[in-house]
Structure 1
Amino acid sequence: MPSALPWLGVSAAVLAVDHLTKYWVLTALPEHTAVPVFDSWWNWYRSYNTGAAFSFLSSAGGWQRHVLTFLALAIAALLTRWLTKLPRHAWPPALAYALLIGGALGNAVDRIMRGHVVDFIQWHWRDWYWPAFNLADVAIVTGAAILVLQGIFRRG
């Protein structure tokens, strides 16, 4: 059985970089104020999300913090188990699991420590604004995309 340790190192790196950027955001950026990176499409925008993706459940009354934290920890544990069972040559799903684990833990730690997730990347085009997100979210979306693409190309 191959070692999952190098892949868990990727998860740890995602978690560390996510929280280093959030530390920067919390110490350097004003709340709810756009700081342009590229005027036409990208801002730093410090905001908080008590819900899930796209602020789903953000006004649910507080119970969602515990449920979302539990789900993130359970999913990270399940993916870690799956990661340990992958054959050595199966690097695409291993990378995907590692990114998903790191991202899930990054946002779970936020919920445990702060009661909400810190978001700070805001993309926009004209008057249309994508909801703010963070590097843990990027890792989750990238990991999910790898799994989807691997499934598509495996069938084709």
Structure 2
Amino acid sequence: MNTSIFLPTLLILHLTGLTIMAGTTIVDFTIFKTFWKHFDEDTEKLKGILTGTSKSSRLIGIGAALLVITGIGMMALTHGVFGEQLWFRIKIGIVVMLILNGIFFGRRQGEKLRTIINKDSARLTEQVDRIKTNLNIFFAVQLVLFFSIVFLSVFKFS
């Protein structure tokens, strides 16, 4: 196989990983908006809506793994040429923040909400309101981080 095909192939797979992660985040955001719209309705309906997000962490993990593996592959093929550039270092920091925010903040809030709903104690309004606020902040931060990654990748500055 011709080595001139490796870099574009890795780039396509890299962008696919980013798209999987960002797309799944947008879908989760939409599902949670629907959840909050129907919050005062039947608990079984709420459980059904939350089921829509139960497999999303696996998709996000696949996208992240694809992103990291192809990123390392591109760095190896280019002999780390981007590694010394400021935009790239900022981008890597944002990617780390994106992953950590998802693992340590977003996932925990989702698990707390699922626990409350599954225990049929969804009417603990103070706790649920806090989770709703936290999830709104989480999704806003994630979407801004995704936008920042794309922005830095397009407008590469020195």
TM-score (norm 1): 0.41
> Would you tell me which structure has more helix in proportion to its own residues?
2
TM-score (norm 2): 0.40
> Would you tell me which structure has more strand in proportion to its own residues?
1
Larger Rg belongs to: 2
